[in-house]
Amino acid sequence: MKKTAGIIAEYNPIHRGHQYHIQQTRLLTQADYIIVAMSGDYVQRGTPAVFDKYHRTRMALLSGADLVVELPVCYATASAEYFALGGIWTLDSLGIVTDLCFGSESGDLASLLALAKLLSHEPEDYQTLLRACLKKGVSFPVARREALLSYINTYPDLPKSQWNKLLESPNNILGIEYLKALNRLHSSIHPHTVLRDGACYHETQLPDSSIFTSASALRRALADSAPFKQLAPYLPSDCRTYFQQILASGELLWTDDFSLLLHMRLIQENADSLTCYVDVTPELANRIENRKTEYRSFSQFTELLKTKELTHTRIQRALLHILLGITELSFPPYIRLLGVRKESRELLSLIQKHSSVPVCAGTGRALRDLPASSYGLIRQQLYPSELYQSVLSHKINAPYVPEHSRPLIVL
Amino acid sequence: MKKTAGIIAEYNPIHRGHQYHIQQTRLLTQADYIIVAMSGDYVQRGTPAVFDKYHRTRMALLSGADLVVELPVCYATASAEYFALGGIWTLDSLGIVTDLCFGSESGDLASLLALAKLLSHEPEDYQTLLRACLKKGVSFPVARREALLSYINTYPDLPKSQWNKLLESPNNILGIEYLKALNRLHSSIHPHTVLRDGACYHETQLPDSSIFTSASALRRALADSAPFKQLAPYLPSDCRTYFQQILASGELLWTDDFSLLLHMRLIQENADSLTCYVDVTPELANRIENRKTEYRSFSQFTELLKTKELTHTRIQRALLHILLGITELSFPPYIRLLGVRKESRELLSLIQKHSSVPVCAGTGRALRDLPASSYGLIRQQLYPSELYQSVLSHKINAPYVPEHSRPLIVL
């Protein structure tokens, strides 16, 4: 069997750091192929992706990926734990992925594995500490870090300072979740990690001294309508022409392009009915209901609802779930194949042979072949993409192309 | 008991013909008070009203109405028969309306009454003729006219040419429906009709030679951003300043301001689920489903779906019902009071005393006082107005003011 490495990513948008990660994955794992499980049209911070999944697939293939499949939307927009679970489930279900390679600020697999083990088992003492921290009214990530640090005061393997650093970095935390998910799904996929420059992640400005930057800094520049030549140095060179074409066509979406649609959804709901959406607790539902009349835009409303306990991302994600009608986290009845490189076409037949769930390119086929009982779950996958394309087509005044008539991208 | 005349109207927007009708109503019926049952934010042709119901209420009061109540939205946007039924129900339910005065191109109550009687009973011969006409694949109004004309060939009271003319004019047809509705609801309201210039109705240009024009011609001029001074001569003089203020604030809505929202609704539905909305036959549902991918805007899609049998208005209305979630025609559990003139305040207590259903000014009260079982019906009334205000607030970037915090307009 050939070696195939998996990567879980958003590429929102893709940059040279991502390309470097793909290259390092190939080196480190000696893989013949690299498969990317990529978020579709919405990402983990609870926003639409700046470019749609078709554009982002093309750029992933141009940057070194052999095949791109879509992360199920409910997981792609979930908290780190479920984002990771959805990603690992997707890669594992394909039946041919032998290795996983994720970026982390620590670059040290051993310590991440140790933490993953601890968090998988959650010893009772740790749980008690966690509950106590949560009671202080801080957000879950803060409480978890604090509880873990208290707990491992008695844990001899590493000095406290290093654990603290480990738990402060978002890619380490996600890495730990990938490792937990591999355990949980009893996956035989072998994990690796690539050292990633932690400073990049929180960057909001494009750096002068490096060709590496963060996706946030790129999005900020896009939002500010920065000229293409300012962005170009940070993009994988094979992507640049394509990226420039997208900019010229204006095919970018932002959270506030969905403001009116979210408002329409909110005025249809009440405090009771809101709680059926993923991430909407009764407390948040009441908060939404009580401040509904102050709604002006998606981003303004997110800011308005923010509290010490409810982070910006947490709220944004909940509002996105209301917009997209996401009421449950469950594995979909098929995996959506987005694109493949011509020279790696062999992967398609390998997947058809080994995957544990149907893998479909055209969703038209998925709708025809799957049992009628799957219809609701299929709609839950399709609707968010249809909505994205609808908003896009209205924004740039172009024809609407529905998900089911998008063919597999072959590059 | 005082004499109180009722008028059923849209005032989209109000013009001197409407004011003349109010004046004539007062003369003809010798009424102490005039109550207008006015469409809310959506009108019978299946579109949003160009100004919201609050602005239109103010202008109705400025033009001579003493009190304005809202036509329930499902009837305000229904075909002539149900529009009329909803209007008569509203006026009749108030318990104090003694007279009705509607405009008609014929101005001849006797012939309208004769036709209303015929259509109320629908003799078997007529029904047979109607079915035969419908089979030819023409629209319902055309088939009905043809069947009636064939039928009354043997009907001695009037020469055929006059009946033909009678049935060609929209206000005569609506008048006949008012008379049918009075029968159907066993109302004691006494009908009158005022002669109205039939030519006006189909006008699309503002006339040079008259101060009377149609609401369509005014809307056309508004859509073309005609300067206010071009519109002013056709408006009731007391309304002009207010009308000019609305224009300055940009608070106008058009069908295509709802394009994205309608698209969102359509992609959530399928041919099966669409049939639950009022006016959506299985045939139309299939047509919508099959051409969904060609959707660009509300108006473009209406044009696209048009056939010989399915008129523009019929489709527009069906699409509006999908947008607003209108799944049934039923009398609401309350009547919404929109505005009153200070000097006619006595009407409020009279209505509270005599009305057969609760009459509410603030809808907040309606939500509190009515039984929980009415909740769905109340939402069906509130949601369309909330949607209208949501679209308006996004369009002009102003705060959203929900229906329940709008007080009674007192002028």
Residue ranges covered by each domain of chain A? 1-105+170-253+329-411, 119-168, 255-324
Residue in the block written with tokens 């209007």: B87
Instruction: Indicate if the alpha-carbon torsion angle A272, A275, A281, A284 is positive or negative.
Output: negative
| pLDDT tens track for A82-126 | 999 999 999 999 999 999 999 998 888 998 998 898 888 888 888
Q: Which residues of B touch A391 (CB under 8 A)?
A: 260
- pLDDT value at position B361? 84
Region A1-105+170-253+329-411: CATH code: 3.40.50.620
- Residue B383 has its nearest CB partner, among A263, A267, A401, at A267
Q: Is A178 annotated as a binding residue?
A: no
Asked if A202 has any chain B CB less than 8 Å from its own CB, the reply is no
Q: Rounded to an integer, what distance in angstroms lies between the CA atom of residue B205 and that of residue B223?
A: 12
Q: Could you tell me the pLDDT band of residue A243, with boundaries at 50, 70 and 90?
A: very high
Answer yes or no: is pLDDT of B88 > 90: yes
For residue A189, how many C-alpha atoms fall within 13 Å in the half-sphere facing its CB? 33
> What residues of chain A lie within 8 A of the CB of B259, using their CB?
394
Residues A55, A61, A66, CA angle at the centre, nearest 5°? 140
Rounded-to-integer distance, Cα B411 and Cα B408, Å? 10
Q: Nearest to residue A20, comparing CAs of A232, A197, A246, A207?
A: A197
User: What is the tens place of the pLDDT at every residue in A334-344?
Assistant: 999 999 999 99
CB < 8 Å to A261, chain B: 260-261, 264
Report ipTM (2 d.p.).
Answer: 0.87
Greater confidence (B161 vs B316) lies with: B316
Distance CA B133, CA B111 (A): 23
A42-43 and A47-48 beta bridge pairing? antiparallel
Residue that wins the pLDDT comparison between B240 and B143: B240
Residue from B263, B268, B291 whose CB has the most chain A CBs within 10 Å, to mutate: B263
Least confident of A373-377, B62-66, B116-120: A373-377
Q: Is B235 exposed, middle or buried (0-12, 13-18, 19+ CB in 10 A)?
A: buried
Mean pLDDT, all residues of chain A:
91
- In the prediction, which pLDDT does A131 show? 92
Residue A390 sits at the chain B interface (C-beta within 8 Å): yes
> Which of A99-113, B157-171, B389-403 shows the lowest per-residue confidence on average (mean pLDDT)?
B157-171
* Cα–Cα distance, A86 to A278 (Å, whole number): 15
Instruction: Name the residue of chain A whose CA is nearest to B386's CA.
Output: A267
Select from B308, B284, B311, B312 the least CA-distant residue to B298: B312
Cross-chain Cβ contact A261/B259 below 8 Å: no
Residue among B253, B260, B293, B301 with most chain A CBs within 10 A, to mutate: B260
List residues bridging with A99 in a β-sheet.
Answer: A5, A190
| Dihedral, A334, A340, A346, A351 alpha carbons, nearest 10 | -10
Q: Do A387 and B295 touch (CB under 8 A)?
A: no
| Residue A290, marked binder | no
Q: Is A164 annotated as contributing to ligand binding?
A: no
Angstroms from A95 CA to nearest CA on chain B: 33
What is the distance in angstroms between the Cα of B204 and the nearest Cα belonging to chain A?
Answer: 28
Confidence band of B199 (pLDDT split at 50, 70, 90):
low
* A388 to chain B, closest Cα gap in Å: 10
CATH topology of domain B1-105+170-252+331-411: Rossmann fold (3.40.50)
pLDDT(A201) > 70 = no
**Angle between helical axes of A312-324 and A375-396 (0-180°, round to 10):** 100
- State whether residue A393 sits within 8 Å of chain B by CB: yes
Report yes or no: B390 at the A interface, CB cutoff 8 Å. yes
pLDDT per position as a tens digit, A301-319:
999 999 988 999 999 999 9
Average pLDDT over residues B182-202: 85
DSSP state of A408: P
Residue of B nearest to A387 (CA): B264
Residues B260, A399: C-beta atoms closer than 8 Å: no
Q: Name A232's Cβ contacts closer than 8 Å, sequence gap at least 6.
A: A240, A243, A244
CA nearest A324: which of A261, A273, A270?
A261
The predicted model gives A226-242 an average pLDDT of 95
Higher pLDDT, B152 or B97: B97
Q: Taking CB atoms and an 8 Å cutoff, what residues of chain B touch A325?
A: 268
Phi and psi torsions of A119, nearest 5°: -75, -25
Asked if the Cβ–Cβ distance from A267 to B293 is below 8 Å, we say no
Residues contributing to the annotated binding site of B for ATP: 8-21, 103, 171, 196
* Distance in Å, alpha carbon of A378 to nearest chain B alpha carbon: 12
Q: Which candidate from A268, A292, A387 shows the least CB-CB separation from B267?
A: A387
Task: Give the residue among A36, A260, A230, A14 at the shortest CA–CA distance from B260.
Answer: A260
Q: Is A363 on the interface with B (CB under 8 A)?
A: no
Distance CA A304, CA A300 (A): 6
Cβ pair A400:B293 closer than 8 A:
yes
State yes or no: A14 annotated in a binding site. yes
* Residues of chain A contacting B325 with CB distance shorter than 8 Å: 268
* B264/chain A closest Cα distance in angstroms: 6
Categorize the per-residue pLDDT at A169 as very low, low, confident or very high, splitting at 50, 70 and 90.
confident
Residues 6 or more apart in contact with residue A382 via CB below 8 angstroms: A363, A403, A404
Give how far A384 is from chain B: nearest CA, Å: 10
Asked if the Cβ–Cβ distance from B259 to A394 is below 8 Å, we say: yes
pLDDT tens digits along A356-387: 999 988 766 666 777 777 777 778 888 999 99
What does the block give as tokens for A347? 């992967």
Q: Per-residue confidence at B278, pLDDT binned at 50, 70, 90?
A: very high
Contact present, A390 and A321 (Cβ < 8 Å)? no
Beta bridge partners of B360: B336
- Give residue-wise pLDDT tens across range B342-375: 999 999 999 999 999 999 887 666 667 777 777 7
User: Of B251, B216, B205, B204, which is closest to residue B242 (Cα–Cα)?
Assistant: B251
Q: Helix B240-249 and helix B53-62: axis angle, to 10°?
A: 160
CA torsion sign for B351, B354, B358, B364 is positive
CB contact under 8 A, B264 and A390: yes
Mean pLDDT of the region A266-285: 94
Q: Across chain B, what does the average pLDDT equal?
A: 91
Partners of A294 on chain B (C-beta within 8 Å) are 399
Which of residues A165 and A189 earns the better pLDDT score?
A189
Residue A365: the pLDDT is: 65
Asked whether residue A242 carries a pLDDT value surpassing 90, the answer given is: yes
Residue A274 has pLDDT above 90, yes or no: yes
Shortest distance between the Cα of A386 and any Cα of chain B, in A, equals: 7
